[in-house]
Amino acid sequence: MVRLLKASFLLLSICGLSFSQAALEQKNRPDAASLLQQVSKKYRDAKAYRIEAVEEREMKGDLFTNREKATMVAGVASGQRYRFEGHGPLGSAVKISDGNAETYYHPEANEYTQAPISAPNSHTRPVYYWESELSLALGLLKTLSQGDTLLSPVYLPDSVVLIDGKAISCYVLRGQSKYRGGTSDTVTNVTYWIDKDKLVIRKKHVHSEGAIRFYVGHSSEDRTTLFPVMELGETSAPDTLFLFQQPAGAKLVKQFVNPWEPRDLLAGKPAPSITLRSKDGSRVTLQDFQGKPVLLDFWATWCPPCVAELDNLKKIKEESPVRDLTILSIDEDEGSDTGDNFFAKRGITWANFHDDGEIWRAFPSNSGIPYYVLIDANGQITFSKPGASDLELRDAIAKLATGRMKGPGE
């Protein structure tokens, strides 16, 4: 009986001690608003840092549920060195500076651009759709520095965040985000898990509800971000983080292909060996035009843009800086005589050839007609594009003329 009483007393003492420690800790901690100000200031004052983030998103409406996952890296050090990465459902992008050169890398295309840091290409380059997560990475530090803008923040019960198997004891605070435009009925609450030892954010949850997107009606969105790496200070990142290690097969390009335009699938390749059959039964091959540049025009009478461009092709041929430019039209009409009869009525004098599908097959395109292929005098394709404008065609021909006037080896 005495032993039982001693055990009970010991248990009560431990519980009392734990309760006293928790009560003391709560008494000594600053109020929620003051703690967020202290944490936010650390991020605003950070001149060097390394942050890695994993974000899971879920958006729900009456008729849909969308889930996404993205990862981001943000690192900055002295000497104009930085590294930002964004990987998400639309693609990936990396921006790196070693202090001398700035590199953008597009992993899916395995291409990169590079420019001296004194004239970073970010000032003139377009923003591509796959860089949406990169934009978030670039603004990651600023976003974390705005915790003190929450309205009426309050403490929630302390919690533990598990990162790489390590339990991190955290303060948990929640507040309402300020209205920043958009639909006025949307309410957003933000919750932070703040490392008690380092006073840095290790987890963030954003819950929004209302007409988040005007075109889907009432919906809710949850974004939960875990920060496996959260280091502030000059020694937070190794020097290797800011070096671009060129992946195998990566290609240096002047500019990434505009994602909203079809990619040129043929430029730089030799023209295929094909035979063209005219109405009178005669046959010619592309190799018969060796020594002369050739512009192939894939068209059809049922294609209004194709017909409209024929007059422009006339002018291009008359005004071309390449005097011996040959235009060959290839019609995709059903009838074998349809294209030739149309040419005769319009008084078009260059050759037209009917295609049963074999010629089109030899020039793979990622779109429809009108489709233009420019071949130089050596039989190399220099330009191909569906729906190319008059200006684009003239520019491609002018570049060809410049190359021809220089001559080989000049």
Residues 211 and 333 in one domain: no
Residues 94 and 125 in one domain: yes
397 vs 126 pLDDT, higher one: 397
In this predicted structure, what is the pLDDT of residue 167?
A: 97
132 is a domain residue: yes
Residues 247 and 382 in one domain: no
339 is a domain residue: yes
In this predicted structure, what is the pLDDT of residue 245?
A: 95
pLDDT digits (tens, 9 = 90+) for 290-314: 888 999 999 999 998 899 899 889 9
pLDDT digits (tens, 9 = 90+) for 109-168: 899 999 998 754 444 566 787 898 999 999 999 999 999 999 999 999 999 999 999 999
> Crossing angle, helix 304-319 and helix 390-406, to 10 degrees?
30
23 is a domain residue: no
**Secondary structure of the chain in HEC code, one letter for each residue:** CHHHHHHHHHHHHHHHHHHHHHHHHHHHCCCHHHHHHHHHHHHHHCCCEEEEEEEEEEEECCCCEEEEEEEEEEEEECCCEEEEEEEECCEEEEEEEECCEEEEEECCCCEEEEEECCCCHHHCCCCCHHHHHHHHHHCHHHHHCCHHHCEEEEEEEEEEEEECCEEEEEEEEEEECCCCCCCCCCEEEEEEEEECCCCCEEEEEEEEEEEEECCCEEEEEEEEEEEEEEEECCCCCCHHHHCCCCCCCCEECCCCCCCCCCCCCCCCCECCCCEEECCCCCEEEHHHHCCCCEEEEEECCCCHHHHHHHHHHHHHHHHCCCCCCEEEEEECCCCCCHHHHHHHHHCCCCCEEECCCHHHHHCCCCCCCCEEEEECCCCEEEEEEECCCHHHHHHHHHHHHHHHHHCCCC
β pairing state of 251-252 and 111-116: parallel
Residues 241 and 375 in one domain: no
64 is a domain residue: yes
Residues 46 and 174 in one domain: yes
Do the Cβ atoms of 111 and 119 come closer than 8 Å? no
As a whole number, mean pLDDT of residues 59-69 equals: 88
Q: Ranked by mean pLDDT, which of 49-58, 130-139, 205-214, 308-317 comes out on top? A: 49-58
Which residues are within 8 A (CB) of 288 and not within 5 positions of it... i.e. 6 or more apart?
Answer: none
Domain boundary among 252, 286, 309: 252
Count: domains in the chain = 2
β pairing state of 275-277 and 283-285: antiparallel
Residues 372 and 245 in one domain: no
Domain boundary among 252, 285, 309: 252
Do the Cβ atoms of 223 and 205 come closer than 8 Å? yes
Q: Could you tell me the residue range of the domain that residue 151 belongs to?
A: 32-252
267 is a domain residue: no
18 is a domain residue: no
CATH number at residue 383: 3.40.30.10
Residues 231 and 375 in one domain: no
Residues 305 and 157 in one domain: no
Residues 198 and 290 in one domain: no
Do the Cβ atoms of 323 and 404 come closer than 8 Å? no
In this predicted structure, what is the pLDDT of residue 260?
A: 60
In this predicted structure, what is the pLDDT of residue 101?
A: 95
262 is a domain residue: no
Provide the CA 116 distance to its chain's centre, in angstroms. Answer: 22
In this predicted structure, what is the pLDDT of residue 180?
A: 59
In this predicted structure, what is the pLDDT of residue 366?
A: 62
pLDDT digits (tens, 9 = 90+) for 308-365: 899 889 998 888 887 788 999 999 988 888 999 999 999 998 999 998 888 888 887 7
CATH number at residue 246: 2.50.20
In this predicted structure, what is the pLDDT of residue 17?
A: 45
Residues 231 and 89 in one domain: yes
241 is a domain residue: yes
Residues 233 and 282 in one domain: no
As a whole number, mean pLDDT of residues 86-102 equals: 95
In this predicted structure, what is the pLDDT of residue 166?
A: 95
What strand order describes the sheet that includes 326-331? 352-354, 326-331, 294-299, 371-375, 381-386
pLDDT digits (tens, 9 = 90+) for 14-37: 445 444 555 545 667 899 999 999
Residues 132 and 248 in one domain: yes
The region that residue 9 occupies, defined by phi over 0 for left and psi between -120 and 50 for alpha, beta otherwise, is alpha
Burial annotation 1-15 (CB, 10 A radius, 16+ → b, else e): eeeeeeeeeeeeeee
Mean of the per-residue pLDDT values for the chain? Answer: 85
Do the Cβ atoms of 246 and 254 come closer than 8 Å? no
pTM over 0.85: no
Query: Whole-angstrom Cα distance, residue 169 to residue 167?
Result: 6
Give me 67's structure tokens.
């889930």
